[in-house]
Every structure is written in C-alpha cells, then in structure tokens.
C-alpha cells in the first residue's frame, strides 16, 4: 500500500488511521467474502495506487442490511441524549485524528491539505451541533377542540438511512447526514464514491471503535463499496426509507425516480451553477478574493464553486483585470504542500470535461481571458493537474448553462439595474448558491428578497462557497431541493406523528359528529 513518492507521509497517515492492506476492504456490517470486483484508490496527486478494496456483493449487501436492521432495534430505544453522548465520543476521536484524516482526504481526493483539514473540521462542527440537538428533538403541543383531550406531535426515527456521497467532499457530507441521523435514532449505510473509498473506510473504522467501546451493535454504522450498481441496491430497497444522495443532477434524477417509485423519501444535493454579482458599489479586494477562491478552491470541484461572474458594465474592465491578475499568482501543485493554492482534479475523465468546456465556450463565441491547459513535467505525472481558466461568455451559451466540474470561470457583464443581474443569475437550471458584492443596502436587500436570488443559499459580500454547518445547506430547481446540516434539517431523518389523548370517560367525536349507540 501507498507505494508512492509521498509514501512515507501517507504510510504514517494510514497507520494512524489503522488502515492496512489486510483490512482496507473490510466493511462493517458484513463478513467480507472478497468475491467482489477490485476497486483501486488512485491518488490524483501522483497517479499512484494507494490501496485496493473489494466491491460489495449482493450477498454482502444483504448481510449489511440484516445487521443494520437488528442494530436499529437497539439504537432507537436509547434515549436521544445518550445517543448524543456516543456522537460526542466520535467527535473526540475526530479531533485527535484531524491531521491524518485531513491528509488522507487531501491525498486521495486532491484538494489542498488546508481544505482537507477544513473538511474534517466540518465533521467536528456537525458533531458538536448534533450533540446539542440530541436534547432538542422536540415536537409541538396544541389545543384540542374536544374537552378533556390533549394533542401533541412527536418525532420518531425512520430506520435505515442510506447515504450516497460524492468524491469532492468524501467525509464531510457523510458526517452531515450521519451525525444527525444517529442522534435522531437512525442507523446508516454509507456508499462513498468509488473514487475515494479509503476515506470512507477510515471514518467507518473510527465509528466502529466507538460503538464497540460502548458495547453497541456494529450495524449502527455500515459501509458498502462500489459503483452505481451497489448504490442501486439501496435505492431500490424498500427497507431503506430515506436515501440521501449527493452528486450530479443526472444521478439525482435517477435516484428520485427509483426511490419515488417505491414511495420512499429522498434528500438530494445535486449540481450547482453558482454566480457572483458584482455591482458598482462593490469592494474590489473582497470581490477578487471571493471570486478567485470560489472558482479555484478544490480545483473547481465544489458543488458551490463559483462558475459565473456577473459584473456591471461600468466596472467590468477593472474587475476583470484584477481577477485575471490574481490568477497569475496561483501556485498549482502537490496539495500536501501548503504553499500551493490548487491541486489536481480527481481523474483523467475530469480533465477531459475541463478541456471540452474550454473548446465549447470558444465554439459558441466566447473569448479565453486566462489560458487553460494540462500541466506536464516533474510533479505533474498523474496528468490530472490543469490550469484554472477564465472565459468571457454569455449566460445563454449552452456550456455556461451546464455545470462544469473543473476550474473554469465564465465572466459576463450586465447593464442597468441590479434586477438585470439577478435575472442572469437565476437564468440557469440549477439553484444552489449565489452571492452579490455590494455596499448598497438596497441592492443587497433586493438580492435577498422574494424577487431576488432563487437559490437555496444567497450571500452578501462573501463568495458562493464556504457554507457553515449552522444553516441548512441545499438548493432549488435541479439542485434537488434537499436540506442537510443545520437549522431544522434533522426533521428529514425522522417520521412525524400526531397524538391525541382522551383523559375523560366520554368519547366525543371531532367536528361535533354524533354517533350514538
């Protein structure tokens, strides 16, 4: 394992996370038969195979399901604050392993080490949130129209929650779902991206140690590995009442159709085509920082990455020149080197999508402002390092209407009132994140009003990426409509029940109906 140019650091990282060649393919919740196809975890940093895991077979999946179902019978009866205590212990383990887990995230996925550490910090933060939430899973009381009756509503756990996560946030998004689902009394089965299976195994091992330490069933947290076919086992399974899926809009539509066909629930976090509006009253320095980080952070592979920059015509040249100049300062290279700003994209397929996007924008009449290209030579042997590019474009271009999961920023101008910019911002199928840069209170409030941004996230004087766990995360339109993380997102992991108690010796009917015997 980890026979790479970075092998010393990575070997120590895997050791700290207790991942070895003998246990890398083991999934809690099933006795591994090792009959499944082999999945190689290839680092985009240097193109080396870190380790190999086996794909979960249908027989192993059935074992996982049975183990999870049995664990749910135990877990659901534990008082929520006690479930919160288990999450607190899991959180303590994350704190102690933040550096090695963050390094593995960086190496396996390709994001910068600082972003890898930030992702683990998101896990820590959502666990903190969940621990407090474990004492606040409250319903409502209400007055009955019938004398001597009491009405209230309460929430119960759903059961087994299936989680399908994407490669770009290989651990954080899982934790958003899992930490909340656990305190709500659910058990979880997780299918991480087949492009980043080791981070999933690392998290599973941490969780398994905590449950074992507390003499709790291992099936509270389960892991399955594989491609979309393994995910389909969950989406088609009536024993899984909720599927939380993060990925492309195309994938989300398939999940929604399958889960909806069995009247299950789906929580979808899909594509984003996020824009920053820059008005004449904007702060140039803040705009450049927000736009550049939003466009090149995680090599443009965040669902909240900035794809479009909509600039007022009166300041178009000034802002564009400043952003172009900032791109000249970007350092591209090994993400484990904290001096670098941008690491590789995930794989060669992502490189092709990046190249196709640049070709298409030119074919549609766009103009390249910052040249792209694939980097070659020492340090770039994986073939996954690309130059962040900027193209002048129009919002109606077909390529601009689609999400390009790569560091490509489309710049365009608007004229007149900010309402024109908002119309451009809303003029795409996706509705995840949006931002406006302005010091004009009226423009800011217009952007946030009912006639403003149609996205699930709307920011003023910050970029489109970098959501905090305290607020509900998600978007509208083809982004799927789901909400994860903070606020009252916990309710999706529970079933609502209305209760009426009659504490009299009579049985009056609702609406004054008479039914005498």
Indicate the pairing of strand 140-143 with strand 149-157: antiparallel
Report the pLDDT value the prediction gives residue 20, as an integer from 0 to 100: 80
Task: Provide mean pLDDT across the span 190-219.
Answer: 97
Report the pLDDT value the prediction gives residue 10, as an integer from 0 to 100: 87
Residue 328 neighbours by CB distance under 10 Å:
7
Interatomic CA distance for residues 101 and 12, integer angstroms: 11
Closest CA to 29 of 225, 246, 227: 225
Q: What is the pLDDT of residues 180-202, one digit of tens each?
A: 999 999 999 999 999 999 999 99
Query: What is the percent of the chain with per-residue pLDDT over 70, rounded to a whole number?
Result: 96
Indicate the pairing of strand 367-370 with strand 265-269: unpaired
Joined together, the tokens standing for residue 452 give 């403003």
In a domain, 505, yes or no: no
Q: What is the pLDDT of residues 128-139, one digit of tens each?
A: 999 999 999 999
Task: With cut-offs at 50, 70 and 90, classify the pLDDT of residue 32.
Answer: very low
Q: CATH number for the domain including 305? A: 3.40.309.10
Q: If phi over 0 gives left and psi between -120 and 50 gives alpha, with beta otherwise, what is residue 482?
A: beta
Burial letters 276-285, b for 16+ CB under 10 A, else e? bbbbebbeee
* 351 and 328 in a common domain: yes
* 224 and 108 in a common domain: yes
Interatomic CA distance for residues 290 and 284, integer angstroms: 10
Does this model's pTM top 0.85? My answer is: yes
* 316 and 369 in a common domain: yes
Q: State the DSSP string of 367-386.
A: EEEE---B--STT-TTS--B
Joined together, the tokens standing for residue 435 give 């931002």
In a domain, 197, yes or no: yes
Closest CA to 430 of 338, 305, 311, 282: 305
Task: With cut-offs at 50, 70 and 90, classify the pLDDT of residue 30.
Answer: very low
Facing residues of 92 across strands?
A: none
* 461 and 348 in a common domain: yes
Report the pLDDT value the prediction gives residue 517, as an integer from 0 to 100: 81
Joined together, the tokens standing for residue 137 give 């899973």
Report the pLDDT value the prediction gives residue 467, as an integer from 0 to 100: 86
In a domain, 509, yes or no: no
pLDDT at 34 over 70: no
pLDDT at 21 over 70: no
Residue 215 neighbours by CB distance under 10 Å:
6
* 298 and 266 in a common domain: no
Q: State the DSSP string of 183-252.
A: HHT-EEEEE--TTSHHHHHHHHHHHHHHHHHTT--GGGEEE---SHHHHHHHHT-TT--EEEEES-HHHH
Residue 317: Cβ-neighbour burial (10 angstroms; 0-12, 13-18, 19+): exposed
Report the pLDDT value the prediction gives residue 27, as an integer from 0 to 100: 47
Report the pLDDT value the prediction gives residue 3, as an integer from 0 to 100: 44
* 128 and 190 in a common domain: yes
Closest CA to 371 of 338, 330, 339, 399: 330
Q: CATH number for the domain including 248? A: 3.40.605.10
Report the pLDDT value the prediction gives residue 50, as an integer from 0 to 100: 94
Contacts of 161 (CB under 8 A, 6+ apart): 177, 178, 181, 186, 187, 188, 189, 240, 241, 242, 244, 493
In a domain, 516, yes or no: no
Using CA atoms, how far residue 163 sits from 95, 170, 188, 220, 347, in Å, is 23, 12, 7, 13, 23
Report the pLDDT value the prediction gives residue 24, as an integer from 0 to 100: 61
Mean of the per-residue pLDDT values for the chain? 95
Task: Provide mean pLDDT across the span 13-34.
Answer: 64
How many folded domains does the chain comprise? 2
Q: What are phi and psi of 181, to 5 degrees?
A: -60, -40
Of 10-24, 202-216, 334-348, where does mean pLDDT reach its minimum? 10-24
Report the pLDDT value the prediction gives residue 63, as an integer from 0 to 100: 97
Interatomic CA distance for residues 307 and 289, integer angstroms: 15
* 432 and 414 in a common domain: yes
pLDDT at 500 over 60: yes
* 308 and 197 in a common domain: no
pLDDT at 253 over 80: yes
* 237 and 115 in a common domain: yes
Interatomic CA distance for residues 392 and 362, integer angstroms: 9
Residues known to be catalytic = 269
In a domain, 211, yes or no: yes
Question: CA dihedral defined by 370, 371, 377, 380, rounded to 10 degrees?
Answer: 60
In a domain, 476, yes or no: no
* 260 and 387 in a common domain: no
- Domain with 434 in it: 274-469
DSSP secondary structure code for residue 342 in this structure: B
In angstroms, what is the C-alpha Rg of the chain? 25
Q: What is the pLDDT of residues 328-383, one digit of tens each?
A: 999 999 999 999 999 999 999 999 999 999 999 999 999 999 999 999 999 999 99
Q: What is the pLDDT of residues 137-181, one digit of tens each?
A: 999 999 999 999 999 999 999 999 999 999 999 999 999 999 999
* 402 and 312 in a common domain: yes
Q: What are phi and psi of 125, to 5 degrees?
A: -65, -45
Closest CA to 349 of 237, 159, 456, 194: 194
In a domain, 220, yes or no: yes
* 289 and 167 in a common domain: no
In a domain, 504, yes or no: no
Report the pLDDT value the prediction gives residue 9, as an integer from 0 to 100: 76
Q: If phi over 0 gives left and psi between -120 and 50 gives alpha, with beta otherwise, what is residue 250?
A: alpha
> Within 243-373, where are the H helices?
249-261, 284-296, 316-327, 348-363
């Amino acid at each position: 394992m980890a026979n790479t140019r970075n092998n010393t650091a990575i070997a120590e990282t895997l050791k700290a996370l207790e991942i070895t060649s003998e246990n890398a393919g083991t999934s809690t919740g099933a006795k591994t038969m090792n009959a499944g196809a082999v999945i190689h975890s290839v680092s985009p940093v240097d193109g080396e195979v870190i380790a190999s895991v086996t794909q979960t077979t249908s027989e192993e999946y059935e074992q996982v399901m049975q183990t999870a179902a049995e664990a749910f019978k135990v877990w659901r009866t534990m008082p929520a604050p006690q479930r919160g205590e288990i999450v607190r212990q899991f959180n303590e383990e994350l704190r102690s392993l933040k550096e090695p887990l963050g390094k593995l995230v960086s190496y396996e996925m390709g994001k910068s080490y600082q972003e890898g550490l930030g992702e683990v910090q998101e896990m820590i933060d959502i666990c903190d949130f969940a621990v407090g939430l474990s004492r606040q899973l409250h319903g409502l009381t209400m007055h009955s129209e019938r004398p001597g009756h009491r009405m209230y509503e309460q929430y119960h756990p759903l059961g087994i929650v299936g989680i399908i996560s994407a490669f770009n946030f290989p651990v954080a998004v899982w934790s958003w779902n899992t930490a909340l689902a656990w305190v709500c009394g659910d058990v979880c089965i997780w299918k991480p991206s087949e492009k980043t299976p080791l981070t999933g195994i690392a998290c599973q091992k941490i969780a398994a140690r905590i449950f074992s330490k507390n003499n709790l069933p291992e099936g509270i947290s389960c892991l399955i590995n594989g491609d979309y076919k393994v995910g389909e086992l969950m989406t088609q399974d009536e024993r899984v009442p909720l599927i939380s899926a993060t990925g492309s809009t195309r994938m989300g539509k398939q999940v929604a159709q399958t889960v909806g066909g069995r009247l299950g629930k789906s929580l979808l976090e899909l594509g984003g085509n996020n824009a920053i509006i820059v008005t004449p009253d904007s702060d140039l320095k803040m705009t450049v920082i927000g736009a550049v980080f939003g466009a090149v952070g995680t090599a443009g592979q965040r669902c909240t990455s900035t794809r479009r920059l909509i600039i007022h015509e009166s300041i178009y040249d000034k802002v564009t020149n400043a952003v172009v100049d900032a791109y000249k300062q970007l350092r591209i290279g090994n993400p484990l080197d904290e001096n670098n700003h941008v690491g590789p994209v995930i794989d060669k397929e992502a490189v092709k999508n990046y190249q196709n996007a640049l070709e298409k924008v030119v074919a549609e009449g766009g103009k390249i402002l910052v040249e792209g290209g694939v980097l070659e030579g020492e340090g770039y042997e994986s073939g996954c390092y690309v130059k962040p590019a900027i193209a002048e474009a129009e919002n109606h271009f077909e390529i601009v209407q689609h999400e390009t999961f790569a560091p490509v920023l489309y710049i365009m101008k608007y004229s007149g009132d900010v309402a024109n910019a908002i119309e451009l911002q809303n003029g795409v199928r996706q509705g995840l994140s949006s931002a406006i840069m302005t010091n004009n209170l009226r423009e800011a409030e217009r952007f946030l009003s009912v006639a403003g941004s149609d996205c699930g996230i709307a920011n003023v004087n910050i970029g489109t990426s970098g959501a905090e766990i305290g607020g509900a995360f998600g978007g509208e339109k083809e982004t799927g409509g789901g909400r994860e993380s903070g606020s009252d997102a916990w309710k999706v992991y529970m079933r609502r029940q209305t209760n009426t108690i009659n504490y009299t010796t009579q049985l009056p009917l609702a609406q004054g109906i008479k039914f005498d015997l």
